[in-house]
Structure 1
Amino acid sequence: MARVHAPRLIPDPCSSAAPRRPLGNDDAAAALGPHPGWARLPLVVLATMATVIASQSVISGAFSAARQAERLGYLPHMTVRHTGQHEEGQIYIPSVNWALFIGVLVLLVVFRSSERLAIAYGLGVTGTFLLTTTLFLVYAHIKLRWPLWRLIALGTVLYVVEGLFFAANTVKLFHGGWLPLAIAGIMGASMLTWRKGRRIVMAYQSDVEGPLTDFIRRARNGHLNEVPGTAVYLHPNTVPTPLALSENARFNRVIHEKVFIVRTVPANVPHVAPQDTVTVDRTGADSDHITQLTLHYGFLDDPDVPAGPRIARDHGVDIDPDTARYFVSELTLLDAGRYRGMRKPFTLLFMAMSHNAAVPADYYRLPRERTVMIGAQLEL
């Protein structure tokens, strides 16, 4: 008997009845053909070098941005360490470095893969495009005095191109694109909270200190005993009396023979020439022995307060910076549940930022053996 074999049916890969499965990495590699094994190690080395370069750019950018925000009054004073002997911009900020470290750990836990992280990176880059264009147009309008038609023409072209890129990335908002928006929101809220909190504290401090003219009048009437020596008081304003000066006079009933009130003013230039660093202003009569010094420094300069009296001495001011005593006003914040002008979460955030600020003696490069901290308490 003849036996007939039925033909074996082979599924057509193009047919809808054929089973399908998603292509993996192995399938993609097979489709590309064989790859040379000798190139794996050089590519790993190249990728590592690119990662180091990119990380250094992020770290340097974070340090620079944090320092400029601090100079503008949007962040508290931070400890800055100079890592270079000849380059001014080589700095290290421990608090920012720890924040970056914690941020990297959070990214690893949340995203777990570079593919998902690339989505957040794309939205962040395209958003930066739009912000950079906006800042440039504002600069061109205020500083360069561009006419309106030029601003509209350039802005239209850039916003259309960059807006398309940004809109294309917004579809991935809930797949990782929320990350740069969350970081921007946290940083923006922190900066605005610090600026508003500082205004509240400085307003309260001005009320406690009182006008400098009233203090000079009390000292002139003989209510204070004069002691030999030079006292340098740091104060951000020239109108009210420094808190350290008023508290020292109230408790000890003394005033130094020579009193200098020093304030630092950041300039919108990288560096300030030494001859333009110090501005001298006599307060009251010459017999009051109270002089105000304003120190100007650029955004790349360090607020070195002891260097100011040395420059002032070279310009004829009678001051000995090597024997002067430095007095710094310190206002301790306490949580009393009052929340002056801010809600509770923002008040607690402001207090946390204030407690982690840099020590004034280190920030202004004051000699610790000749620095005295005098202050009061403020209940928020």
Structure 2
Amino acid sequence: MSEVAIEPSKPVEQLKFAAVIGALGIVYGDIGTSPLYALQACLGYVSKGGLKPDDVLGLLSLIFWALIITVTLKYVTFVMRADNNGEGGILALMALAQRVARTDRVRYGLMVVGIVGAGLFLGDGVITPAISVLSAVEGLSVASPDFSRFVLPISVAIIIGLFLVQRRGTGAVGKLFGPIMVVWFVAIAGCGLYRIIINPHVLVALIPVQGIRFIVRHDVLAFVALGAVVLAVTGAEALYADMSHFGRRPIRTTWRFFVLPALVLNYFGQGALVIADPKAADNPFYLLVPHAVLIPMVVLATIATVIASQAVISGAFTLGSQCVQLGLLPRMEIRHTSVTTEGQIYVPQMNAALAVGVLILVLGFRSSNALASAYGIAVTGTFLCTNILSALVFHRHFNWPLWKTGLVWGSFFAVDAAFFGANILKIFEGGWVPLVIGLSIVTLMTTWRRGRSLLFARWQQDSLPLASFLGRLPQSRIVRVPGIAVFLTGNPEYTPASLLHNLKHNKVLHETVFFVTVRNLDVPAASGADRVHCEELAPGIYRVGIGYGFMDVPNLPRSLDLLREQGLPFNPMQTSYFLGRETVVPATVPKLGFVRRAIFLFMLRNAISATEFFQIPSDRVVELGVRVAI
């Protein structure tokens, strides 16, 4: 098992310019486009009775300290210290937490937390493209009211085009992401700085007292407004999730010295504008832009939101692939879109589901302001899940004392809980959307995991122990024929059903037999003995264990080819693969409810075959049917 990488023991990372530019293009797309709608949504809660300068200053203070506490302190300073062999993200953190759990019950509870976090993250993947693209294109309405009727059609066209190009990969376009986002951050910082120079008094919002006064003054309304404040920190999870692509230091450096200052300048510039002209609260971002460059800024904002959407979609593909490897979702087709970058993948099923979901949201809500209420729950729910997992990792792996863990992570939990509670109040205004999406995904994951465990238990109940089979083999009259046979089995201690069926029907056994068990490891990538392990059980009969990390792409023939390096008689051209195809039927006393069994059967029918998933040559596969009652 690999250990958690503790930051102080690592050599200092070399800061590379390419990594800095790459991080700007991928990591900060979501949080970098939040100024398009975050302050506008916040002002909507206090503008009905007439905007007062103190209210604007209070909201700016809350946004600033949310960026400091949630992003800078929680994610950049602390959460990014916990990496799983360099890999970040909610599922990598879940694997780390499970590794230090002391009981199976706690381990199961941590799995549930990870599944909920993953489900909410995928819900975020549906909402982000919708709200980002809409908010950018809405700038046309500011340029001219006559353009208002084109906002929805243009947004739909951009989203359709975005999902259609996913199959081609983003390698070539991705090289432009970084420079474009540099221009974006410089542009929004410049617009904000101009207004701050005109009204420098807005900088008093840096003092936390302004935010506290706002909360005391507005009481319940201030709590509700926190649900919009959290829009300023959407995308914080991406800093941790994309850590493996660029390294910890480039992400931290770009955030502290470039992205954070640019965001603060723009938010405070918007605030200065609204203080001077309360009517600007209708769309403070675009009204902050000089009219002469408004159309170019709309174009730049649209490109930036496409980049933000692309980052979230790619993250959803990666998360879906990890879920498949961890046994939380059925096997899906995973295509590599780059011959040089392993992480660039395309998952057709997820792409189609995301596209349909995004279009439904755009056509249903029709504006970014309406979608703002739906956004916060997915983000804050993921924050809470990360908080729980991180607390355990820091307490057990980093050996933090209980008082320190409680003080640091308890404080973060209080902030996250306040954000989450404020967004819960918006359930009937659109907050139900991420809850429905997240609950649906969690239901799919738990149903799949439960169904597979029942299939495995039933298969084990009906199977013959491998030791018994090998003990009877010398006395049997089974004919051994030339060639190599590979039998996949879920439990290395039991005889594969496909072998028993082959003996029953064909009454022969190959001279060389490999019983192969594929194991999903809680590390990003398997290496060394974890990749392939082999032992000889009887003359010509071997037991092989193959491990894949949650970031690995399974390729069974390539893994088995490593056996030749160990001097074993494996020849790909003489090998036949025997696989079992399960036909699930209801048991006399079903262990899955009617609805969950229907869901499980639907996923089972739509899962891609083991042949395709493990990249086995189809002309070397023999499938044998098995009926299983659950």
Q: By the TM > 0.5 criterion, same fold? A: yes
User: Would you say 1:306 and 2:557 are equivalent positions?
Assistant: yes
Query: What's the CA shift for 1:163?
Result: 2.3
1:59 matched residue in structure 2: 313
Change (3 A) 1:159 1:255: same
Query: What's the CA shift for 1:170?
Result: 2.4
Query: What's the CA shift for 1:327?
Result: 1.1
User: Matched residues in 2 for 1:98 and 1:259: separation?
Assistant: 41
Query: What's the CA shift for 1:299?
Result: 2.5
* Conserved 8 A contact 2:577-2:620: yes
User: Would you say 1:264 and 2:515 are equivalent positions?
Assistant: no
1:343 matched residue in structure 2: 593
User: Would you say 1:83 and 2:337 are equivalent positions?
Assistant: yes
User: Would you say 1:126 and 2:376 are equivalent positions?
Assistant: no
User: Matched residues in 2 for 1:64 and 1:195: separation?
Assistant: 19
Output the amino acid matched with 2:624.
I
1:39 matched residue in structure 2: 293
* Conserved 8 A contact 1:231-1:258: yes
Query: What's the CA shift for 1:192?
Result: 0.7
2:465 matched residue in structure 1: 211
User: Matched residues in 1 for 2:628 and 2:408: separation?
Assistant: 50
Query: What's the CA shift for 1:329?
Result: 1.5
Output the amino acid matched with 1:185.
L
2:548 matched residue in structure 1: 297
User: Would you say 1:353 and 2:603 are equivalent positions?
Assistant: yes
Structure having the higher strand fraction is 1
Residues 342-351 or 231-240, more deviating: 231-240
User: Would you say 1:247 and 2:501 are equivalent positions?
Assistant: yes
User: Matched residues in 2 for 1:78 and 1:324: separation?
Assistant: 25
Q: Secondary structure at the match of 1:89?
A: coil
After the TM superposition, which residues 131-210 of structure 1 pair with which residues of structure 2 at under 5 Å, given as runs?
Answer: 131-210=385-464
* Conserved 8 A contact 1:243-1:375: no
1:9 matched residue in structure 2: none
What's the TM-score once normalised by structure 1's chain length?
A: 0.86
User: Matched residues in 2 for 1:143 and 1:195: separation?
Assistant: 27
User: Deviation per CA, 1:223-253, whole angstroms, max 9, x where unpaired?
Assistant: 4222111101112210111111110001111
What's the TM-score once normalised by structure 2's chain length?
A: 0.53
* Conserved 8 A contact 2:322-2:551: no
Residues 207-216 or 247-256, more deviating: 207-216
Change (3 A) 1:114 1:72: same
User: Deviation per CA, 1:309-354, whole angstroms, max 9, x where unpaired?
Assistant: 32111111122123211111211224x4756211100000000011
* Conserved 8 A contact 1:327-1:374: yes
* Conserved 8 A contact 2:526-2:549: yes
Output the amino acid matched with 1:355.
R
Query: What's the CA shift for 1:30?
Result: 11
User: Would you say 1:328 and 2:579 are equivalent positions?
Assistant: yes
1:233 matched residue in structure 2: 487
Query: What's the CA shift for 1:272?
Result: 2.9
Output the amino acid matched with 2:397.
K
1:69 matched residue in structure 2: 323
Output the amino acid matched with 1:303.
P
Higher relative contact order, chain-length normalized (CA < 8 Å, sep 6+): 2
Change (3 A) 1:376 1:50: same
Q: Secondary structure at the match of 1:322?
A: helix
Q: 1:116 aligns with which of 352, 355, 370?
A: 370
User: Would you say 1:376 and 2:626 are equivalent positions?
Assistant: yes
Q: Secondary structure at the match of 1:272?
A: coil
* Conserved 8 A contact 1:339-1:347: no
Query: What's the CA shift for 1:276?
Result: 5.1
User: Matched residues in 1 for 2:409 and 2:591: separation?
Assistant: 38
Gaps of 5+ in 2: 1-49, 51-141, 146-277
Q: 1:50 aligns with which of 285, 304, 325?
A: 304
Output the amino acid matched with 2:332.
M
Query: What's the CA shift for 1:52?
Result: 0.8
User: Deviation per CA, 1:25-60, whole angstroms, max 9, x where unpaired?
Assistant: 989469999985433321221221122112112211
User: Deviation per CA, 1:83-110, whole angstroms, max 9, x where unpaired?
Assistant: 1101111111111111101211221243
Query: What's the CA shift for 1:274?
Result: 5.3
* Conserved 8 A contact 1:223-1:253: no
RMSD: 2.7
Query: What's the CA shift for 1:273?
Result: 3.2
Query: What's the CA shift for 1:183?
Result: 1.4
1:364 matched residue in structure 2: 614
Output the amino acid matched with 1:280.
C
Change (3 A) 1:139 1:177: same
Query: What's the CA shift for 1:61?
Result: 1.5
Query: What's the CA shift for 1:118?
Result: 0.7
User: Matched residues in 1 for 2:459 and 2:415: separation?
Assistant: 50
User: Deviation per CA, 1:199-221, whole angstroms, max 9, x where unpaired?
Assistant: 11111112233212232244322
Output the amino acid matched with 2:607.
A
Q: Secondary structure at the match of 2:554?
A: coil
User: Matched residues in 1 for 2:596 and 2:461: separation?
Assistant: 23
- Between structure 1 and structure 2, the one with the greater Rg is 1
Q: Secondary structure at the match of 1:250?
A: helix
Query: What's the CA shift for 1:307?
Result: 1.6
How many residue pairs match? The answer is 356
1:317 matched residue in structure 2: 568
Query: What's the CA shift for 1:372?
Result: 1.2
* Conserved 8 A contact 2:557-2:615: yes
Output the amino acid matched with 2:450.
K
Query: What's the CA shift for 1:275?
Result: 6.1
Gaps of 5+ in 1: 1-21
Q: Secondary structure at the match of 1:228?
A: strand
Residues 91-100 or 306-315, more deviating: 306-315
Q: 2:532 aligns with which of 260, 278, 284?
A: 278
Change (3 A) 1:194 1:234: same
Change (3 A) 1:169 1:272: closer
